[in-house]
Every structure is written in C-alpha cells, then in structure tokens.
Amino acid sequence: MSRLPSFKGVIAATLTPSKGYVDRIPAYYDFLRTAGVKGFFILGTWGEGPRHGAEHRMRVAEKAVESTTSSELAIVHVGSSDMDTVRTLLRHANEIGASAAAVIAPYYYRPDTETLLRYYRVLAESSEIPLLVYNIPSKQGYSISSNTLTAVLEEVGNVWGVKDSSGDPATGVALVRKFRGRKFVAIGADELITFAFTIGANGVVSGIASVFPEMVVGLQRALEQGEMNRALELQHLINEASNLLSSIGVEYETQRSVLRIRGVDIGPPPDPVRTLREDELTRLKEGVAGILERLVY
C-alpha cells in the first residue's frame, strides 16, 4: 500500500476475456504496459465485472494480478448488487494479493448515507487490502454528494481512496483539495483527463486507455511537459474515440473489436452479447485507422 498515495499516472480500465480466454490477459497487459500504462483496473465497468459470475471473475482476477509487477497497481473491482458476492470476491482479492479492491457503491437499490457508510465499513473491516470507493452515478442510479464521499473516506478505516466517475468537475476539485497527499484520488471520466492531471489528481482510470493506451499516456506526458497544444489535440482525440466507440456495435464487444483490429485478440464476447456485423467492423476499422493516423502527426 505504501506505493499508493504517491502514485501518478494512467490506470487502464482493462477489458475482460470471456470464459476460456483468460490466458490472453498477459499479452494484453503487455500491450498496455508498453504504451506506458502503470495501473490496471480489473473487472470494473469497462471490464464487465457485473456481467460475469463470481467464478469467472475470480479466474480473471487471478490471472490479471499475476500479470502485473510489484511496481504496478492491480486494482480488482469486487462490486456486485448482492452482498454475498461482494464478500466472496473481496476475500478472494485479498488472497491473490491485489493492490486494492475497488467497490462500486450499491447499485439497483439506493442506500441512504448511513447505509452507505455501513456498507463500506462492513467491507473494509473484513479486508486486509485497502478499499477504493468507486462512484459512478450513471450505473448506480443515484448521485453521491461530495460531502458524503468525503465522509466515507474520512470515517471508514482502510479506505485509501476513490475513483470518481461522476463526470462532475466540482466533485473532483473537492476530493483532490481535501485529500491530496493523504488519499488516492482518481478521476474515471475520459473527457476529464486533462482536468484531472491539471488539478493534481493521482491519476485517471480510463476506458479509452484500455484500447488506445498511447493516447492517454501521451496526454499525461504532454501536460507534464507543458505542451498544451498537444494536450488539447490528444484530449480531443480521446473524446472522438469515445464517440466512435459508443456509436457502433454493442457494449463492450465494440471495445474488444478495437483491440482485435489493433492485433490484440482477447477472444469472443460473453454470452449473450452478439459480435459485430461486417458493416460495423468496416466502419470501426476506418474509425480506428483515422484515430491512429492523427495520433502520430
């Protein structure tokens, strides 16, 4: 955990292979690592954790953690709508030596503040590895105020940080200002990567970095070197990549298809998600080519 507070960098919200394709993870992670990715967010939203059963999630988590080095972050997301599954996965994340366990706020049902605090307290108490609070209103179905997030981080022991995917810049500012140097604060919204690094967040958990890692790492470097023009160009390219991915195909087989186009095959979609049609693949290939071309410049 000592490496956590001082972490600075890009964490990829890695995609997940389906059953039978877990052995594709090491090559995939090498692809990300080569591009400069320093952290791996495993089985989150882009990683389709909530779509997979506990058994497969554990196999994926094992292989993923195994595929990281001690200087990298390997954060395993263990959230679920049911508490028994969360407990099972959290225990397992401890056993396999994950850097931390991320837990989405309860989804499907809406907790009040006290229930939310109890939720994280109960989990934190049963874990040796630290917890990362994962706030993503679009999936939870409700917002959490920055005051409530702050209370969770302050009052619950063994919570070392937060991944905020609210898309709300004010929440990011409140968290960084309050916890800088004390807790890990990551922004999980691709359109706010420039903002995240500017205000001094520890990093970003980026979906785009799972398929175009060089773009997000490049943006971080451009900002470090004060090349604002290049940063603006890259942030715009990231935004366009987001639009491309959401305008073709189906979650998250489109993303897997981008990896395939780029030479990294992590296997077919999980049942019952369909594969992309020929015309969709053609458009996607053109879109990816256009993005990679502009990336070089």
User: How many Å from the N-terminal Cα to the C-terminal Cα in the chain?
Assistant: 39
Give the active site residue among 38, 63, 163, 183.
Answer: 163
Q: Cβ 118 to a copy of itself, closest distance in Å?
A: 4
Q: How far is the CB of 119 from a copy of itself (least distance, A)?
A: 5
- Cβ-in-10-Å burial (0-12, 13-18, 19+) of 97 comes to middle
Among residues 26 and 167, whose Cβ is nearest to a copy of itself?
Answer: 167
Choose the catalytic residue: 45, 68, 171, 254: 45
User: Which structure tokens are listed for 190?
Assistant: 């691709």
Q: Report CA Rg, the chain.
A: 18
Whichever of 99 and 135 has its CB closer to a copy of itself, that residue is: 135
Taking the complex as a whole, the smallest distance from the CB of residue 139 to a copy of itself amounts, in Å, to 6
Active site residue 107: no
Q: What's the min distance (Å) between Cβ of 146 and a copy of itself?
A: 9
> Shortest gap between Cβ of 33 and a copy of itself (angstroms)?
27
- Output the CA–CA distances (angstroms, integers) from residue 271 to 131, 255, 275, in the order listed: 30, 16, 10
Catalytic position from the list 38, 134, 150, 254: 134
Give me the least distance between CB of 181 and a copy of itself, in Å please.
Answer: 11
Query: What is the CB neighbour count within 10 angstroms for residue 231?
Result: 22
Nearer Cβ to a copy of itself (67/194) = 194
Q: Which is nearer to a copy of itself, 56 or 63 (CB)?
A: 56
Which CB atom, from 213 or from 270, has the smaller least distance to a copy of itself? 270
C-alpha span between 207 and 191 (Å, rounded): 11
Compare residues 72 and 253 and give the one whose CB is closer to a copy of itself.
253
Footprint on this chain of a copy of itself (rule: CB under 8 A): 45, 48, 50-56, 80-85, 107-112, 114-115, 118-119, 121-122, 138-139, 141, 168-170, 173-174, 176-177, 191-192, 194-195, 198-200, 228, 232-233, 235-236, 239, 242, 249-252, 270-274
- Nearest-5° Cα angle at 157, 151 to 163: 60
Is 134 labeled as catalytic in the residue annotation? Answer: yes
Q: Which residues are catalytic?
A: 45, 108, 134, 163
